Structure formats: C-alpha cells, structure tokens
Amino acid sequence: MTHLIPMSPLGFRCALGAAFCGYALLGGLSLTAQAPQRQSVTEGVYSGGQAARGQQLYKAQCASCHGNAMEGTVGSPLAGDSFLSNWSARSLANLVDKIQKTMPFNLPGSLSREQSTDLAAYILQYGKFPAGQAELSEGVLAQIVFPTAKVSAKPAASLAGTSLPPPEGNLAELMRAIAFPNANIIFNVQLRDPGNQKKKQPAAAPFDYFEWGSTVYPGWLAIDQAALAITETAPLLLTPGRLCQNGRPVPVDRADWKQYVKDLGEVGKLAHVASKTRNYDAFVEVSEKLNDACANCHKVYRDKGGTEGSGATRCQP
C-alpha cells in the first residue's frame, strides 16, 4: 500500500509554480508552432494564369485612371518607387482590400474579392516580381508582404516662416474635401438668398448628424464659413511635398501656380467681406471671380490632360 507523504506549504508552492512554468512553456511552444510564416512578394506568390486574368481586368477597369503602363494619370502609379514606398512592409491583404473596397473610383465595391486578388497578381507581375506555381488565395494574403523600402523622414514644410507638418492628402483629396464643397456653397448664393432661407428642423429619429449639422449654422452663417474655408485653404495648395492624384509633385515653385493660388485666396477674402456685410447682390461678381480663379488654373494644370485631368500631363503646365 502506497503512503502519501504530506507536503509542506513551501513545497506545494514550488510544485505549483513548476507546473505553471511547464504549462507556459508548452503553451509558448504551441503558439510558436502555429505562428504563420511571413512571405515576401519576391517569392513567387502568384501564378502566371492569375496575372493574365488580372491583366484583362486592368485594361477594362483600371488603365483609364492608372495608365496603360501603371504610370499614374488621374490615379496614382501602381508600379515604381513611389508605389513600393507607399506599400512598404504592408501585406497583400491590404492591397486587395483597397482594390475591392475603393476601386474603380467611380464605382467602388463593384469588383469581387477574386477579381481584386487577380488584379493584385497582375500588379505584382508588372512590377517584375516573379510568378510561382500556386495562385494567390484568401488564406495567404495576410502573410505575404511587400519589401521594406528605405524612406527618409520628411522635414516639416516651411510656409511664410511657419513650420507645417507634411501634407496628409494629395491635391485632389484636399480640393474635394474643402475647396469644392465650399465653392459650391458660394456659387449657390446666386440661386438662393441666404437671408430668406427658413431654418430647417432636423428629423427626430433616427438621429442624423449631417442633417442636424446643416441646421446649426444656417443662412449667411454658412456663407461666412464657406468663404473663410476658401481663403484659408488657398495657402495649403503651396505646401511643399504635396502630390497630385497621379503621384506627380504639385508645382508649388512655379510662378503661374503661385498666382493662381493667390487669386483663389483673394476671391475668398472678397466673398468673406460680402458675406459679413450680407451683400447678396455682390455675389454675382464674387461667383464670376471664383469661377475664373478655378477655371484659369484648371485649364493649365488639370484639364490639359483630358476631361477632369484624365491624361498623363495632369499637374504639368
């Protein structure tokens, strides 16, 4: 008959600690064994047939914006140093997500996951990353990464003696976010006198922040803010380091560009004065001057490449 030997409290604690250590060690080994292996796009992660399917999709859905040679026209480049810098150390899953959720620009979400993956394969092929035997599949996208690019830190931009952080958005994004909607608010004054607009009542349910926000600063207050937005935005068009949508640098050092920016800022100030004095009649002239300021720049730097700057010469005089 086996006799159990009583264990002291200290011995019990030591044994318990050893058991926990053993479990932790086994758990660590288990996690290590299950950790997915990272792969580089340089290791033949797609097939030639998959890239061929992606090529046909690219010609039909992407080339008009990104260029036949992926050089970037309206859209950004999909090959070369700037592309690799942008996707440095990021996974293919991120690229496929972006394609599926945001492309084509005028019809986002219309591509299936498989089509988006095929397009990623073609982008890799065009970038001279080698093909392999197996196709890219959903299960491996997150483990396949682009090479890490050497990127030098961008110095803070200097504008009129003020240090500014590097630009967050490209020129098209900045224009769509601030200049475009606020210019339209000013243009709309020709059609509706802000002083005669009735205050809107937001819907009670479901609560809509956008609808509610449009009721907070109605009438002339909205025009005040739009004019101020145009005035304050103009200097941001001169921020060093900002890129156009197609990846080319904004021509911030050119004399004509500086003049176009100055003209935009001056119109913004004119609109702000007219709005503050509630001079409805002045907005016929303000709208004409704003239209001229926009059109003069667009003719040289945007529309030269085609409709809405759809050519390779966008952002070039």
Is residue 17 predicted with pLDDT exceeding 50?
no
Residues 166 and 271 grouped into a single domain = yes
| Coil vs helix vs strand at 40 | strand
DSSP 284-305: HHHHHHHHHHHHHHHHHHTGGG
Residues 97, 109: Cα–Cα separation, whole Å: 10
One-letter amino acid at 180 equals: F
The mean pLDDT of 186-208, rounded to a whole number, is 81
CATH code of the domain covering residue 64? 1.10.760.10
Residue 232 is assigned to a structural domain of this protein: yes
190 falls within a domain? yes
For the stretch 92-136, pLDDT in tens is: 999 999 999 989 988 888 999 999 999 999 999 999 999 999 999
Is 8 a domain residue? no
**Mean of pLDDT over the chain:** 83
- By C-alpha distance, which of 284, 252, 238, 289 is closest to 268? 289
pLDDT in tens, 149-175: 875 555 545 545 556 688 999 999 999
The reply to whether 221 falls in a domain is yes
Q: Given pLDDT bands bounded at 50, 70 and 90, which one contains residue 69?
A: very high
- pTM comes to 0.65
Do 111 and 169 have their domain in common?
no
Determine how β-strand 157-159 pairs with β-strand 162-164.
antiparallel
**Distance, CA of 264 to CA of 6 (rounded, Å):** 89
Specify if 116 maps to a domain.
yes
Query: What is the residue type of 50?
Result: Q
Question: Domain check: are 119 and 241 in the same one?
Answer: no
- Same-domain check for residues 166 and 301: yes
Query: How far is residue 168 from each of residues 119, 238, 240, 265, measured CA to CA in Å?
Result: 27, 13, 12, 21
Residues 162, 302 within the same domain? yes
266 within domain boundaries: yes
- CATH code: domain of residue 237: 1.20.120
Residues 168 and 286 reside in one and the same domain: yes
* Total number of domains constituting the chain: 2
Verify that 54 and 190 share a domain, yes or no. Answer: no
Residue type (1 letter), 13: R
Domain boundaries, position 162: 157-309
Residue 268 confidence class, pLDDT cut points 50, 70, 90: very high
